[in-house]
Amino acid sequence: MAKSERIDAVVVGGGIAGSALAAALAGDGHQVLLLERQTVYRDKVRGEVINCWGVEELIQLGLEECILKAGGTYVDRFIGFDEIIDPEAARAKALHLDQMLPGIRGVLDVGHPEACEALSNAAQEAGATVVRGVGDVLVTGGPEPTVRYEHNDLEYEVPCRLVVGADGRMSTVRRQLGIGLTQTPPNSLGGGMLVEDLHDWPVNVTSIGTEGDLLYFVFPREGARARLYLLHDVSQKGRFAGPNRHNEFLQAFQLRCIPDSEMFAKATPAATCAFYPMNDAWADVPFAPGAVLVGDAAGWTDPVIGQGLSIALRDARVVRDCLRSSGAWDPEILHPYAREREVRMHRLRISGSVRTTMNMTFTPRGVARRRAYAEVWPTDPVLAGSRLATFKGPFQVPAESFDPEVIDRLFALG
C-alpha cells in the first residue's frame, strides 16, 4: 500500500459539490485530493439548472466563467404556460429572472456532465490533485482522518485534516461515518430527457406548468438543445417505460397550453429517458469529527423545485467559509454550516410541498386552487415567498412565508 504525507483535505466525489469545494479549498492554498469514481462523466437525468441564488454562490466561489465556457446558458424569462391561463396572458405575466437578485443575469442552464467536467478541471487548475477511476474508498474520521482508495489495482492511504463526503445520495462516506439519513416517501415520479433540434423554443425562456395529469418543465440551452421533464402521480409508475418511451414522452409534451407544442414531436432524443422517485432527504448533522458531507450526500430536496445544483454550490461556499474562520479546523467550526443548512433545507422542503400540492393535484379542486393562487401571489409577498424562494433562495424572501399557518392559507385557496 502506498502511503502519502498528511494533506489538508480529501474530497470523495467529483460531482458539483465536491469539485466546487475542491476548487475553492485549493484556491485558498490548501493541499486537496479529489477522488472520483467515473473516468468520464456520463449523462443521466440530473439537475441542469442553477437558480438565481445558486448563480450568486457560483460567483462567490469564482466559478461562473468555467461554467459558461462549458456551455452554460443564461435564461432571463420564466413563462408559466398552464391549462388555467391563456398563452398570451402567460407571456404577459412572464417573470423577469434577471431582476430576481441584484447583478444576477437569470438562471443558468448547463449540462450536468459538462458542469462536473468543468468544475473538476477548475479544481485541478487551482492546484488540487484529481484522480478519476477510483475503486473502493474506506474513510476513517476522528482526530486523525484517513482515506484509503483503490486506483489501477493499487491501494493508497492518505492521512488528512478533513474528509469531505460528496459522493451522492448513496454516499458510502456517510454510511462509514455512521451519519443517519431521513427520507420521505416519494411525492411523485419525475423523468427527463435531453433533446436536440428544438429550434422553435426561445433559448432565453424557461417554463413550468400543469395540464391534465402532468407537470412539465423546459430548460433550454444553446444550440437548440433542452432538457425536458415530466412529472406524474406515483400511482402511474411505468407510464413512460418500454422501448417506445422516448416517442411517447415527446408526444405527451404536445400540450395544448404551450403554443406550437408540436415542435416537441420534431425534437430528437439525445439521451435516455428515465424516471425516478421525487422525495426529500436530510442528515440531521451533516458532519462528524474529521469529516463533513456536502451536496446530495448530506441530503436533498424534492427535485420538483430544481434546487440540487444551487444547494450543492451553497454547501461548498458555506463549508469553505467555515474552514476560513479557523486554522485549526476543529469540528466546532462546522456548526454554522449545519445550522444554516437545516433551516435552508427545511424552507426548501416547504417550497417543494407547495409546488407539488399546487401543480400536481390533478383534480377540479386542484385546478381551482391553482387558479386562485395565480391571482393572489403576485401581490402578496408573504404568500409568494415559498414560490419565489426557488429563484431567489430561501433567505431572500419573508421568513414568515414558511410558517405553517401561511401554508395552510395557501392550501385552502380556491
Res 4: pLDDT: 83
pLDDT digits (tens, 9 = 90+) for 102-124: 999 999 999 999 999 999 999 99
The torsion angles phi and psi of 300, rounded to 5 degrees, stand at -140, 165
Res 44: pLDDT: 80
Give the three-state DSSP class for 369.
helix
Q: Is the pLDDT of residue 1 over 80?
A: no
Q: Is the pLDDT of residue 46 over 80?
A: no
* CB-based contact 85:211 (threshold 8 Å): no
Weakest mean pLDDT among 35-44, 66-75, 349-358, 404-413: 35-44
Measured CA to CA, the distance from residue 90 to residue 85 in angstroms comes to 6
Closest CA to 23 of 126, 115, 117: 126
* CB-based contact 329:319 (threshold 8 Å): no
Res 271: pLDDT: 87
Q: How many other CB atoms are found less than 10 A from the CB of residue 324?
A: 12
Measured CA to CA, the distance from residue 324 to residue 335 in angstroms comes to 14
pLDDT digits (tens, 9 = 90+) for 320-367: 999 999 989 999 999 999 999 999 999 999 999 999 999 999 999 999
Give the three-state DSSP class for 47.
coil
* CB-based contact 280:182 (threshold 8 Å): no
Helices 335-359, 364-376: inter-axial angle, 10-degree rounding: 120
